[in-house]
Amino acid sequence: MYSRLLLIFALASGTVLAQSTSSSPEQQESVQGLMDRIQQLEKRISELEDHQRKQDAAQAASSGSQNLVESQGSQDKATLAAALRSEHAPSSTEVREAEVHYPSLQIRGFGDIDFSATNEKGSVSGFNLGQFVLHLASPLSKKVGYFGELSFTARPTGYDVQVERTIIRYDYNDYFKISFGKYHTPIGYWNTAFHHGAWLQTTISRPQMVQIGGTFIPVHFVGLLAEGNLPSGGLGLGYSVGLGNGRSSILSKAGDSGDSNDNRAWVASVFAKPTRFYGLQLGASVYGDKLSPDPGKNFGEWITSADVVWTKERPEFLSEFANVHHRDLQTSQTFNSQAFYVQLAYRLSWLESKWKPYYRFEYIHRPANEPVWDVSGLSSVADLVSSTVGVRYDITNYAAFKGEYRNNRTGTNEPRVNGAFFQTAFTF
């Protein structure tokens, strides 16, 4: 009690002294530091006092119990037992609360509101609602868990509702986990690191090569996936191997309702998170499939990719490369398209570390006569050279404001397009 009074007095006198002199930012910082420490000390004192009270109560109860049990009857025993139970009741409640109950559904939502303005011919500037995303996770037992992701995307005629991911997974141990469902295909880094919540990613948009609704890589995959760590010591190796339907006849979509042919797609990826370089991740993946976009047209698809990322924020560095190889199964003609991006960001340490400027360069190249990208009559993949510079401001721990400028050229001999984009992204 006295120590608290003393602390309060010290704080008050400190405040008076602080008010009587014009304090510099360093002094203010020191005072703030001391205030934090006082709060921590007060918390610690109250913890110790609680602890002491509990011990005293337990001792009193145990000494009292001996006397009472000897001298009084069964009614007193019951009263004492109830008192002892109530003393220990919070612990058992805490244990019960800390234990996982099955199923235990958690829901998290993501949303974003965007504004865009570009000098592209025919484009209209204005606001739009981004994706509204619900994420579901529920452990079903100690070793079985369910994950789901639903997206609601605004369209001119209403909302497009999609099941983006639905996965049930059995964990045998850290080295082997098998799951079934619909995934984001484990090709490269971005596609499995950032899903549909724009708040999760630093930038407003995804790189074009992994764009949702894009066709350069198959963003979704329906089937089964085995994944886990590999015993590798400090290398921190992990893997995932999958078998599934691959692309449907609409190349941007997975075969949710069935494959477009009798040939299954497969994917294998490995990654390393070396313990010596915490934050570094290196990955490589291979994907194979047979595409049947139109009756009588069949292509072999072989995608190879590699990625290097530094996941810390000072700096954050993301880069990945992918080569998409198509082979016409009738003519044996082959086509190779390449894409990569490099993104660099840095969380500034001043202004409460809320600002994070970033820059991204993207590149896509496709052969002019590549038949798969033009199979629908419209070019679904075009050459691209794009630069994005922007800044993210974290309004709170769960909401961010982003603003960026993009300069890109899509297609050959096309003019460059400049645009300004703004986004408020949040999770709830």
Partner 1 sequence: MTTHQKVASRALITGCLSFCLLQSLIAQSGGDVDVAVVVHPDTPVSNLTLAEVRKVFLGDRQYWSTDVPVVLLIRAPVARERNVVLKVIYQMSESQFKQYWIAKIFRAETATAPKVVYSNDMANELVTAIPGAIAFIDARDVRPGTKVIRVDGRLPKAQGYPLR
For partner 1, the binding residues (CB under 8 A) are 3, 6-7, 9-10, 13-14, 16-17, 34, 37-41, 43-44, 47, 50-51, 54, 91, 94-95, 98-100, 104, 106, 108, 135, 137-139, 142-143, 145, 147, 165, 167, 169, 171-174, 192-193, 195, 197, 200, 229, 234, 236, 273, 275-276, 278-279, 312-313, 353, 394, 397-398, 427
CA angle 131, 206, 400 (to 5 degrees): 60
Paired with 327 in beta bridges are 300, 334
Cβ at position 357, least distance to partner 1 in Å: 17
Q: How far is the CB of 13 from partner 1 (least distance, A)?
A: 3
Q: Which is nearer to partner 1, 193 or 417 (CB)?
A: 193
Closest contact distance (angstroms) between CB of 292 and partner 1 is 30
**φ/ψ of residue 285, rounded to 5:** -150, 155
> Between 98 and 368, whose beta carbon lies closer to partner 1?
98
Q: Which amino acid is at 165?
A: R
With a CB cutoff of 8 Å and minimum separation 6, the contacts of 229 are 174, 175, 236, 237, 238
Residue 105 beta carbon to partner 1: minimum distance, rounded to whole angstroms:
10
Q: Which is nearer to partner 1, 144 or 382 (CB)?
A: 144
Whole-angstrom Cα distance, residue 335 to residue 301? Answer: 10
Show the beta-strand stretches assigned E in 273-315. 280-294, 297-310
* Spatial separation of the C-alpha atoms in residues 212 and 220, rounded to whole Å: 9
Minimum Å gap between C-beta 201 and partner 1 is 10
The token pair that represents 52 in the structure block: 């002491």
Least CB distance from residue 102 to partner 1, whole Å?
10
For helices 25-71 and 74-98, angle between their N-to-C axes, nearest 10 degrees? 150
Contact 137, 147 (CB under 8 A): yes
171 or 328, CB closer to partner 1?
A: 171
Query: Alpha-carbon distance 226 to 283, whole Å?
Result: 17
Are the beta carbons of 395 and 422 closer than 8 angstroms? no
Minimal distance, residue 82 CB to partner 1, in Å: 21
Here the tokens at position 250 are 């609409």
Q: Tell the smallest beta-carbon distance from residue 83 to partner 1 (Å).
A: 19
Q: Which is nearer to partner 1, 240 or 337 (CB)?
A: 240
Nearest to 319 by CA among 197, 209, 205: 209
Nearer to partner 1, 117 or 280 (CB): 280
95 or 378: CB nearest partner 1 = 95
- Nearer to partner 1 by Cβ, of 51 and 416: the residue is 51
Q: Hey, which residues does 242 pair with through a beta bridge?
A: 225, 267
Q: Which of 234, 256, 235 is CA-nearest to residue 245? A: 256
Amino acid at 85: R
- Residue 91 CB, shortest distance to partner 1, in Å, is 5
Q: How far apart are CA 148 and CA 135, in angstroms?
A: 6
Tokens of 31: 């005072």
Give φ, ψ of 6 to 5 degrees. Answer: -65, -40
Question: Minimum distance from CB of 2 to partner 1 (Å)?
Answer: 11
Q: Which is nearer to partner 1, 159 or 278 (CB)?
A: 278
Q: How far is the CB of 212 from partner 1 (least distance, A)?
A: 15
Nearest CB to partner 1, comparing residues 52 and 128: 52
Residue 192 or 205: the one with the smaller Cβ distance to partner 1 is 192
Return the exposure string of 81-94: e unless at least 16 CB atoms fall within 10 Å of the residue's CB, then b. eeeeeeeeeeeeee
Rounded to whole angstroms, the maximal C-alpha distance in the chain is 101
- How far is Cα 91 from Cα 99, in angstroms, rounded to an integer? 12
